[in-house]
C-alpha cells in the first residue's frame, strides 16, 4: 500500500457516497443496540430500498449521548434523532429533504458545542467494519506519510512536542516513555495496547475499539516504528465481544491492504498485531500484571524496577499505552505536535474522553479539552442532575479515584488539579451522585470492588481492603464507633503507602476523599445512627425498635 493507493481508495469512497442524496447513520454501540438499534437499522434499509430517494444507511459506533439512544444522524443536514425505533423508519426516510420528524428531533447543541473531538472525530461517521470508511477520513495517512518522510527519532520528537500524557490514569509523558523504549537495548521489542478497562461505569476504551478500531491499530503501528518494535499485542477483556470481533475484522482488513505485515508501504518496516484476551481481572490493568497475563501466567503485579520499558514482555523492552493514548497518535502525526500542545491546560495538553454516568441527564461519552471546569461538564454538557434532585458529588478515576463535592466544581480538569483534590484522572470514568446518595455507602462500594479485585499478592492490599470494608460496613449498619473511624483512617494510610501496585496504593482514595469532604455523614452514622440519605439500614436502630416493641 502506498500513499497514492490510499488516496485512490479515499477518492473512490467519496465518489460512491456522492451517488446518494442522503446518509442515514445508525448508532450500533452496545447502549443503542440493547435498545433495538439492530431492528431499527434493518427497517431503515428496507424503507430506503422501497423509496425513490437515494439513501445510504450506515451503522456506526457510539455517537456520544447514550441515554438518548437509539440515535440516528442524517447527513448532509446533520439532523440528530433520538429514542428512535423500527416503527419510525418509514417516516424518517419519507421526510428526508423535508422538515424533520418533530417527535424524534433531538436538540443537544450545548452538549456538542462544548466538546472538542480528536479521539472521537470519526464517531458516528464511519462503519467500524469497513476499512475504506476509515481511509476516506484520512485513515492510515499518518502512518504511510511517516514511513516515507520521517525518522523514528522524528516521530518520538513530535509526540514529545505534543505534550501528550498517558490516558490510562497515571498521566506519564508519552514522549518520554517512547523515548525510553526507543533507546533500550534489544533486537526484539514489543508494543502493547492496554484495553483492559475495568473501572465501574467506564466504557471509553470499549467504545473506541468498537467504533474506530483502525485508529488504535494505526497508533500502535506508528509507535512500533518509533521505538523499533515489529510486534504488537492488544490486550482486551473477553467481556468485550463486540470490540474483539471488530478488532479482529480490522486487523484482517489492514493486513489485506498491506498496512500490517512485512515491508509496509514498500519500506523495511515490518509490524503486525495480535489480540490477547483477558479474563476480566481489574488488576491486569496494571502493566506488570498485564504482561504476566499475556505471557500465560497468573496476572499479578511485581515490584519495579525493572520497568517494562527496559524489561517487559518476555524480558524484552516493551511499550505499553492504553487505547485512548494510541487513538491520539494519528491526529498528532497528521496535524503536528504544536497543534495538540495548544489545546488543554498548562500541564495537561489535548482533550480527554470521559464516560458520564450516574445521576446525570445526558449519560454517555464526551470529549472535552483539558482544563475545562467540572461544572461545565456536569451542568452544561451533561445536562445536570435530573428529577429535581441536588448535585452532591462526582467520582472521577473509578475505584481508584475520589469524590469531589460541589464547592470544587469550578476547578479545571487536569491531572494535577484532580490529584490536589484527592482524586485522579484515571482512564476517564465520571460518576455523578445526587442527594439520594450516601457517601459512606459509596466509599464502601468502591472498597468492596477493590477488595474483590485484589490479587492477594501483598498483605496490605489483601488484608487492608478487607478490614476497611468491614469497618465501613459497621458504620453503614449503625454499629460503628469513633474508634472504628480512627482505625479506618490509619488503615487508609497504611494501605496507600505499603501496597505493591497501583490497585492497593489508590484503593483508599474514595474513603479519604469522602472523609475529607463529607465527614459529617460519617458522624451522623456513628453518633446519631442515622443515614442522611436514607440509604443505609441501621441495625442498631432496628434492634432498639424491636426491644421497644417487645416491651
Residue 543 confidence (pLDDT): 45
- Per residue in 212-236, pLDDT (tens digit) is 999 999 999 999 999 999 999 999 9
Smallest CA-to-CA distance from 96 within 19, 44, 33 is with 44
Residue 547 confidence (pLDDT): 34
Residue 78 confidence (pLDDT): 84
Q: Is the pTM of this model over 0.85?
A: yes
Per DSSP, the chain holds a count of helices (H) and strands (E) of 24, 13
Task: Give the rounded percent of residues in the chain with a pLDDT score beyond 70.
Answer: 98
Which architecture does CATH list for 3-113? 3-Layer(aba) Sandwich (3.40)
Please determine, for residue 66, whether its predicted confidence score (pLDDT) is greater than 80: yes
Smallest CA-to-CA distance from 318 within 503, 184, 431, 207 is with 184
Task: Give the residue-averaged pLDDT of 409-436.
Answer: 92
Please determine, for residue 240, whether its predicted confidence score (pLDDT) is greater than 60: yes
Residue 111 binned pLDDT confidence (cut-offs 50, 70, 90):
confident
Please determine, for residue 539, whether its predicted confidence score (pLDDT) is greater than 80: no
Quick check: helix, strand or coil at residue 98?
coil
Q: 369 - beta bridge partners? A: 351
Task: Give the residue-averaged pLDDT of 488-508.
Answer: 95
Please determine, for residue 391, whether its predicted confidence score (pLDDT) is greater than 60: yes
Distance CA 507, CA 509 (A): 6
Spell out a b/e string for 368-397, using b for 16 or more CB atoms within 10 Å of the CB, else e: bbbbbebbbbbbbbbbbbeeeeebbbbbbb
Q: Could you tell me which CATH number the domain at 351-434 has?
A: 3.10.20.600
Burial category of 272 from C-beta neighbours within 10 Å (exposed 0-12, middle 13-18, buried 19 and up): middle
- Per residue in 131-173, pLDDT (tens digit) is 999 999 999 999 999 999 999 999 999 999 999 999 987 899 9
Residue 549 confidence (pLDDT): 32
Please determine, for residue 444, whether its predicted confidence score (pLDDT) is greater than 50: yes
- Per residue in 193-204, pLDDT (tens digit) is 999 988 888 899
Pick the CATH number of 447-527 from 3.40.50.2300, 1.20.1440.230, 3.40.50.300, 3.20.20.220: 1.20.1440.230
Residue 448 confidence (pLDDT): 96
Residue 546 confidence (pLDDT): 36
C-alpha cell at 153: 527519532
- Per residue in 13-62, pLDDT (tens digit) is 999 999 999 999 999 998 899 999 999 999 999 999 999 999 999 999 99
Angle, helices 3-17/141-149, rounded to nearest 10 degrees: 160
544: left (phi over 0), alpha (psi -120 to 50) or beta: alpha
Which architecture does CATH list for 148-341? 3-Layer(aba) Sandwich (3.40)
Where are the domains positioned within the chain? 3-113, 148-341, 351-434, 447-527
Task: Name the residue with higher pLDDT: 337 or 304.
Answer: 337
Task: Give the residue-averaged pLDDT of 334-349.
Answer: 95
Amino acid at each position: 500500500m502506498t500513499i497514492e493507493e490510499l488516496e485512490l481508495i479515499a477518492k473512490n469512497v467519496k465518489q460512491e457516497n456522492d451517488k446518494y442524496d442522503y446518509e442515514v447513520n445508525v448508532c450500533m454501540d452496545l447502549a443503542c443496540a440493547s435498545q433495538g438499534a439492530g431492528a431499527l437499522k434493518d427497517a431503515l434499509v428496507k424503507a430506503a430500498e422501497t423509496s425513490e430517494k437515494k439513501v445510504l444507511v450506515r451503522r456506526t459506533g457510539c455517537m456520544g449521548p447514550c441515554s438518548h439512544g437509539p440515535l440516528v444522524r442524517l447527513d448532509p443536514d446533520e439532523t440528530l434523532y433520538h429514542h428512535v425505533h423500527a416503527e419510525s423508519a418509514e417516516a424518517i426516510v419519507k421526510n428526508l429533504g423535508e422538515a424533520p420528524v418533530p417527535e424524534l428531533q433531538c436538540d443537544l447543541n450545548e452538549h456538542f458545542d462544548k466538546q472538542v473531538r480528536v479521539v472521537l472525530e470519526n464517531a458516528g461517521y464511519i462503519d467500524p467494519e469497513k476499512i475504506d470508511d476509515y481511509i476516506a477520513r484520512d485513515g492510515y495517512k499518518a502512518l504511510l506519510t511517516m514511513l516515507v518522510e520521517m525518522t523514528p527519532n522524528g516521530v518520538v520528537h513530535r509526540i514529545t512536542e505534543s505534550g501528550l500524557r498517558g490516558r490510562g490514569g497515571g498521566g506519564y509523558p508519552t514522549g518520554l516513555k517512547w523515548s525510553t523504549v526507543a533507546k533500550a537495548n534489544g533486537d526484539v521489542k514489543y508494543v502493547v495496547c492496554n484495553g483492559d478497562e475495568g473501572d465501574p461505569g467506564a466504557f471509553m476504551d470499549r467504545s473506541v475499539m468498537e467504533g474506530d478500531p483502525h485508529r488504535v491499530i494505526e497508533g500502535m503501528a506508528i509507535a512500533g516504528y518509533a521505538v523499533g518494535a515489529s510486534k504488537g499485542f492488544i490486550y482486551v477483556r473477553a467481556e468485550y465481544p463486540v470490540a474483539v470481533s471488530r478488532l479482529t475484522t480490522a486487523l484482517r482488513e489492514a493486513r489485506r491492504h498491506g498496512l500490517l505485515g512485512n515491508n509496509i508501504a514498500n519500506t523495511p518496516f515490518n509490524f503486525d498485531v495480535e489480540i490477547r484476551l483477558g479474563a476480566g481481572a481489574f488488576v491486569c490493568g496494571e502493566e506488570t500484571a498485564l504482561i504476566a497475563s499475556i505471557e500465560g501466567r497468573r496476572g499479578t503485579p511485581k515490584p519495579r524496577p525493572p520497568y517494562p520499558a527496559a524489561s517487559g514482555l518476555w524480558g524484552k523492552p516493551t511499550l505499553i499505552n492504553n487505547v485512548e493514548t494510541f487513538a491520539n497518535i494519528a491526529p498528532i502525526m497528521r496535524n503536528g505536535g504544536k497543534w495538540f500542545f495548544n489545546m488543554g491546560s498548562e500541564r495537561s495538553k489535548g482533550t480527554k474522553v470521559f464516560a458520564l454516568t450516574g445521576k446525570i441527564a445526558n449519560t454517555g461519552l464526551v470529549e472535552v479539552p483539558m482544563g475545562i471546569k467540572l461544572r461545565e461538564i456536569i451542568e452544561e454538557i451533561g445536562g445536570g442532575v435530573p428529577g429535581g434532585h441536588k448535585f452532591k458529588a462526582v467520582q472521577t478515576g473509578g475505584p481508584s479515584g475520589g469524590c469531589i463535592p460541589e464547592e470544587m466544581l469550578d476547578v479545571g480538569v487536569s491531572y494535577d488539579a484532580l490529584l490536589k483534590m484527592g482524586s485522579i484522572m484515571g482512564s476517564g470514568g465520571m460518576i455523578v451522585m445526587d442527594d439520594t446518595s450516601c457517601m459512606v455507602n459509596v466509599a464502601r462500594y468502591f472498597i468492596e470492588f477493590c477488595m474483590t479485585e485484589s490479587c492477594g499478592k501483598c498483605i496490605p492490599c489483601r488484608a487492608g481492603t478487607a478490614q476497611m470494608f468491614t469497618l465501613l460496613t459497621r458504620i453503614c449498619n449503625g454499629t460503628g464507633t469513633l474508634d472504628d473511624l480512627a482505625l479506618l483512617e490509619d488503615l487508609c494510610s497504611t494501605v496507600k503507602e505499603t501496597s505493591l501496585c497501583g490497585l492497593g496504593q489508590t484503593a483508599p482514595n474514595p474513603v479519604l476523599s469522602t472523609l475529607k469532604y463529607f465527614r459529617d455523614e460519617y458522624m451522623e452514622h456513628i453518633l446519631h445512627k442515622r443515614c442522611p440519605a436514607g440509604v443505609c439500614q441501621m441495625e442498631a436502630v432496628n434492634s432498639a425498635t424491636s426491644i421497644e416493641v417487645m416491651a
